[in-house]
């Protein structure tokens, strides 16, 4: 296997060149993270709630086949047409077939990371179908021909002046106008027309319920509902890991989702779809696309518990300073860096390294995924598979040697302190030490903790 | 035929790779921390946080009087609340015509104090698009049907209907530089009337 190119690092460098924008990105996401903290602290049972969510998800994964069959049976009985797709191609073809059957040419979509993962839009557009993303953030980046940079806030990398210019070009808003209220109103009018004329609506699925055969879709804008209720055909696409046993379990997840995502107590609309409305048609597409492979791996299956709240991204010091696009995958940030190498190990070998392994992601995850530990495990798997670029590998091998030889480790520490004291400018020189780009190395302590501890011991004993 | 194969392949792969049976927690959910006497106050505060307004009334006619004062009744208005007869609009089969709706009034079944989400079932909504397509939305709810948290709500609502939804405020977005804008695609306002 060839070694992966460090695409994330290069793209992050480009992102950081616009310093003002990069700072704004960092601070805004930290603000969202702080709102999440306040929302979490408002519930005394927060930690127990996370534990329950994690247990329910683990249980669901341990009976995933049973629950999918139960979901399928109940949905069929409710008049929903159920499809299974092994991969992205199959998923896209199923959607196209439904469009063709209805001679449909216009589709409105509400944000669905699964359809992003499957690259549904370019596929349908090539077949001559008009695809309109209706979540405001998604529509913005669709007009810019970009992928989303965040799973909950797709256009978080853009400032309002960018959007003002974009809408001036495409929606005819006044030149230079950048008031969010005004721009949102323009988008509302533009998208209303699309909702009213669409033949088919596609939505994602936040949770599917085996017991009822129904599924829940959560939005703040109401776009999923407007699309699904006005079109003759509603296609809901879900990863197979989204199924939970019973409706009562929704209480646990709905309390966690919005609080973790944006710090809101709940999303504005949490809609429970179960049967098609009279005269309408409802489809449910169950997609694997690598999920069964992830399930079969004890090290990584926990990542399938993810409810796509985005909290791990908002808190990640690397994501906040590198921007979602630097991850070159549909789902960016810490969780995306676990999911992507499962789909293509070579293409995404750089992503598990786009992390400080500080563990902040793991601490905020509402379903208690051991995110940073899985990233660490991926590094080892990728190293063994030879998919790691040489400079990182040398560093890692060096660290392995150091950590497994305590005497050498102690010497290296002393040598490092000596080196940094004598030649601070050399240690800070980024061509020799990539870590020093955008960072000043800390002043080295005069004494190591180990030496200090030994001295204290001597003092105490003496 | 192809689809059957895919289904079987996926199910077989799951059986092969799934973890050992992990039990469900014995009890699901938590007791509410909001005390019964604080339900109304907590609920009303959350409606406001969510960008809506909550009004305590003693009767439907009081709600009616408020709506008459607040809205232009010559515009298309539809109420599905028995006893609150201000409809002047008859929906046709063509759903697109609903786009004209200025105000829709519906009856909520359950209100949740911790997040001000209000449950509407298919019977109360009638045409599913109504609460989402109308420019303004008003919900009527009895204080007796307030609960503390979502776990309690799920014990009371029927999730076996064709469609049902929790609505917590007017439609909103923060997709442009994180500035909160009320009124994305759905209703631009939400007024909740709390009846005894
Ligand atoms: S991994 Fe956890 S924190 Fe990250 S998006 Fe998924 S559920 Fe949220």
State the pLDDT confidence band at A451, using cuts at 50, 70 and 90.
confident
Nearest to A116 by CA among A162, A82, A152, A84: A152
A-B C-beta contacts closer than 8 Å? 257
Measured CA to CA, the distance from residue A194 to residue A71 in angstroms comes to 32
From start to end of A330-449, where are the E strands? none
Residues of chain B contacting A183 with CB distance shorter than 8 Å: 176
Nearest chain B CA: its distance from A281 CA (Å): 13
**Cβ-defined contact of A255 to B133 (cutoff 8 Å):** no
B158/A contact by beta carbon, under 8 A: no
Can you tell me which atom of ligand 1 is nearest the CA of A151?
5
State phi, psi for A159 to the nearest 5 degrees.
-95, 165
- Tell me the residues of chain B between 52 and 91 that have a Cβ less than 8 Å away from chain A: none
Q: Is the pLDDT assigned to residue A100 strictly greater than 90?
A: yes
Measured CA to CA, the distance from residue B196 to residue B194 in angstroms comes to 7
Q: Which of A220-229, A247-256, A309-318, A402-411 has the lowest mean pLDDT?
A: A402-411
B35/A contact by beta carbon, under 8 A: no
Of the candidates A45, A272, A292, which has its C-beta nearest B30's C-beta? A45
Q: What is the DSSP string of B11-79?
A: HHHHHHHPPSP-PPPSS-S---SS-GGGHHHHHHHHHHHTT-EEEE-SSHHHHHHHHHHHS-TTS-EEE
State the pLDDT confidence band at A431, using cuts at 50, 70 and 90.
low
What burial letters (b/e) apply to A400-417, b meaning 16+ CB within 10 Å?
Answer: eeeeeeeeeeeeebeeeb
State the pLDDT confidence band at A4, using cuts at 50, 70 and 90.
very low
**Cβ-defined contact of A180 to B179 (cutoff 8 Å):** yes
State the pLDDT confidence band at A446, using cuts at 50, 70 and 90.
confident
Which of A48, A251, A310, A324 to probe by mutation at the B interface, max B CB count within 10 Å? A251
Residue A398 confidence (pLDDT): 44
Residue A462 confidence (pLDDT): 46
Cα–Cα–Cα angle for A47, A53, A58, nearest 5°? 130
Residue A284 confidence (pLDDT): 98
Q: Is the pLDDT assigned to residue A251 strictly greater than 80?
A: yes
A107 vs A455 pLDDT, higher one: A107
Q: Which of A218, A306, A332 to mutate to test the pocket of ligand 1 (most atoms within 8 A of CB)?
A: A306
> How many C-beta atoms surround the C-beta of residue A225 within 10 A?
29
The closest residue, in CA terms, to atom 4 on ligand 1 is: A312
Q: Which of A94-103, A422-431, B9-18, B139-148 has the lowest mean pLDDT?
A: A422-431
**CA nearest A72 in B: which residue?**
B7
Nearest to A333 by CA among A385, A369, A297: A369
Q: Is the pLDDT assigned to residue A146 strictly greater than 50?
A: yes
Residue A2 confidence (pLDDT): 40
Residues of chain B contacting A367 with CB distance shorter than 8 Å: none
Residue A322 CA, ligand 1 centroid: distance in Å? 18
Measured CA to CA, the distance from residue A179 to residue A261 in angstroms comes to 25
Lookup: tokens for B130:
């109504």
Q: Can you tell me the mean pLDDT for A104-117?
A: 94
Tell me the average pLDDT of chain A.
89
Q: Is the pLDDT assigned to residue A99 strictly greater than 90?
A: yes
Residue A417 confidence (pLDDT): 55
**Cβ-defined contact of A153 to B174 (cutoff 8 Å):** yes
Q: Is the pLDDT assigned to residue A440 strictly greater than 80?
A: no
What burial letters (b/e) apply to A268-293, b meaning 16+ CB within 10 Å?
Answer: bbbbbbbbbbeebbbbbbbbbbbbbe
DSSP 8-state secondary structure symbol assigned to residue A440: P
Of the candidates B28, B129, B151, which has its C-beta nearest A229's C-beta? B129
Residue B93 confidence (pLDDT): 79
Of the candidates A192, A212, A292, which has its C-beta nearest B160's C-beta? A212
Residue A212 confidence (pLDDT): 98
Decide if the complex's ipTM is over 0.90. yes
Residues of chain A contacting B186 with CB distance shorter than 8 Å: 221-222, 225-226, 268-269
Measured CA to CA, the distance from residue B125 to residue B107 in angstroms comes to 8
**Cβ-defined contact of B165 to A271 (cutoff 8 Å):** yes
Can you tell me which atom of ligand 1 is nearest the CA of A335?
1
State phi, psi for A26 to the nearest 5 degrees.
-60, -50
Which of A27, A66, A269 to probe by mutation at the B interface, max B CB count within 10 Å? A269
Of the candidates B127, B183, B185, which has its C-beta nearest A191's C-beta? B185
pLDDT digits (tens, 9 = 90+) for A167-215: 999 999 999 999 999 999 999 999 999 999 999 999 999 999 999 999 9
Q: Can you tell me the mean pLDDT for A347-360?
A: 95
**CA nearest A212 in B: which residue?**
B160
Q: Is the pLDDT assigned to residue A413 strictly greater than 90?
A: no
Of the candidates A137, A156, A268, which has its C-beta nearest B167's C-beta? A268
Residue A253 CA, ligand 1 centroid: distance in Å? 12
Can you tell me which atom of ligand 1 is nearest the CA of A364?
3
Measured CA to CA, the distance from residue B25 to residue A337 in angstroms comes to 30
- In DSSP terms, A240 is beta-bridged to none
The closest residue, in CA terms, to atom 3 on ligand 1 is: A365
Residue A401 confidence (pLDDT): 47
Q: Is the pLDDT assigned to residue A14 strictly greater than 60?
A: yes
Q: Can you tell me the mean pLDDT for A253-264?
A: 98
Can you tell me which atom of ligand 1 is nearest the CA of A361?
3
A405 vs A66 pLDDT, higher one: A66
The closest residue, in CA terms, to atom 2 on ligand 1 is: A365
Q: Spell out the per-residue pLDDT of chain B, length 196, in tens.
A: 555 699 999 999 999 999 999 999 999 999 999 999 999 999 999 999 999 999 999 999 999 999 999 999 999 999 999 999 999 998 887 888 999 999 999 999 999 999 999 999 999 999 999 999 999 999 999 999 999 999 999 999 999 999 999 999 999 999 999 999 999 999 999 999 999 9
Residue A186 CA, ligand 1 centroid: distance in Å? 33
Measured CA to CA, the distance from residue A233 to residue A140 in angstroms comes to 25
Can you tell me which atom of ligand 1 is nearest the CA of A303?
1
State the pLDDT confidence band at A59, using cuts at 50, 70 and 90.
very high
Residues of chain A contacting B16 with CB distance shorter than 8 Å: 296
**CA nearest B34 in A: which residue?**
A43
Which residues approach ligand 1 with their CB closer than 6 A? A 260, 306-312, 335, 364-367, 369, 371
In percent, the amount of chain A with pLDDT more than 70 equals: 85
Q: Give the global pTM.
A: 0.90
């Amino acid at each position: 296997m060839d070694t992966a190119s460090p695409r994330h690092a290069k793209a992050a460098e480009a992102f950081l060149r616009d310093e003002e924008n990069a700072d704004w990105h960092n601070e805004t996401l930290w603000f969202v993270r702080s709102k999440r903290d306040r929302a979490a602290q408002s519930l005394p049972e927060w930690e127990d709630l996370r534990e329950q969510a994690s247990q329910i998800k683990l249980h669901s994964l341990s009976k995933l086949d049973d629950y999918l069959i139960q979901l399928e049976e109940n949905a069929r009985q409710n008049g929903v047409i159920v499809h299974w797709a092994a991969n992205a191609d199959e998923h896209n073809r199923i959607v196209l077939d439904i469009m063709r059957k209805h001679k449909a040419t216009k589709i409105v979509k509400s944000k669905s990371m699964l359809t992003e993962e499957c690259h549904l839009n370019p596929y349908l557009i090539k077949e001559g179908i008009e695809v309109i993303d209706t979540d405001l953030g998604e529509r913005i980046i669709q007009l810019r021909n970009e992928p989303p940079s965040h799973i909950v806030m797709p256009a978080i990398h853009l400032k309002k002046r960018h959007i003002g210019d974009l809408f001036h070009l495409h929606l005819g808003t006044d030149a230079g106008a950048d008031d969010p209220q005004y721009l949102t109103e323009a988008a509302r009018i533009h998208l209303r027309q699309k909702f009213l004329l669409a033949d088919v609506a596609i939505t994602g699925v936040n949770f599917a319920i085996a017991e009822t055969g129904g599924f829940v879709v959560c939005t703040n804008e109401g776009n999923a509902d407007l699309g699904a209720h006005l079109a003759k055909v509603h296609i809901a696409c879900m990863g197979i890991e989204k199924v939970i046993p019973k409706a009562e379990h929704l209480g646990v997840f709905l309390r966690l989702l919005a609080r973790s995502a944006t710090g809101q107590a709940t999303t504005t609309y949490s809609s429970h779809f179960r049967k098609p409305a009279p005269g309408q048609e409802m489809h449910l597409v169950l997609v694997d696309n690598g999920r069964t492979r992830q399930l079969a791996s004890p090290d990584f299956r926990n990542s399938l518990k993810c409810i796509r709240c985005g909290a791990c991204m908002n808190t990640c010091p690397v994501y906040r300073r590198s921007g979602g696009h630097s991850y070159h995958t549909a789902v960016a940030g810490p969780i995306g860096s676990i999911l992507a190498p499962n789909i293509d190990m070579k293409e995404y070998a750089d992503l598990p390294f786009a992390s400080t392994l500080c563990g902040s992601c793991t601490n905020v995850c509402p379903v208690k995924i051991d995110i940073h530990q899985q990233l660490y495990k991926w590094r080892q798997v990728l190293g063994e598979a030879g998919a790691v670029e040489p400079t990182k590998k040398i560093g890692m091998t060096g660290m392995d040697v150091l950590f497994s030889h305590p005497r050498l480790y102690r010497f290296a520490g002393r040598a490092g302190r000596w080196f940094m004291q004598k030649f601070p400018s050399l240690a800070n020189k980024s061509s020799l030490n990539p870590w020093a780009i955008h960072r000043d190395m800390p002043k080295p302590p005069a004494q190591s903790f180990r030496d200090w501890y030994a001295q204290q011991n001597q003092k105490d004993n003496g | 035929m192809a689809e059957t194969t895919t289904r079987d392949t996926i199910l077989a792969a799951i059986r092969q790779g799934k973890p050992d049976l992990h039990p469900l927690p014995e009890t699901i959910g938590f007791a509410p921390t909001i005390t019964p006497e604080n339900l109304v106050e907590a609920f009303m505060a959350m409606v406001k946080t969510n960008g809506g307004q909550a009004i305590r009334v003693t009767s439907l006619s009081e709600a009616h009087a408020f709506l008459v004062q607040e809205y232009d009744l010559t515009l298309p208005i539809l109420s599905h609340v028995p006893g609150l007869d201000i409809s002047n609009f008859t929906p046709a089969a063509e759903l697109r015509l609903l786009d004209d709706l200025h105000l829709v009034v519906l009856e909520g079944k359950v209100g949740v104090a911790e997040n001000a989400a209000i449950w509407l079932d298919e019977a109360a909504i009638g045409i599913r698009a109504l609460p989402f397509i109308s420019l303004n939305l008003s919900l009527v709810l009895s204080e007796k049907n307030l609960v503390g948290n979502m776990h309690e709500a799920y014990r009371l609502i029927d999730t076996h209907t064709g469609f049902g939804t929790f609505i917590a405020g007017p439609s909103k977005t923060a997709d442009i530089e994180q500035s909160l804008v009320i009124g994305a695609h759905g209703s631009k306002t939400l007024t909740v009337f709390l009846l005894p």
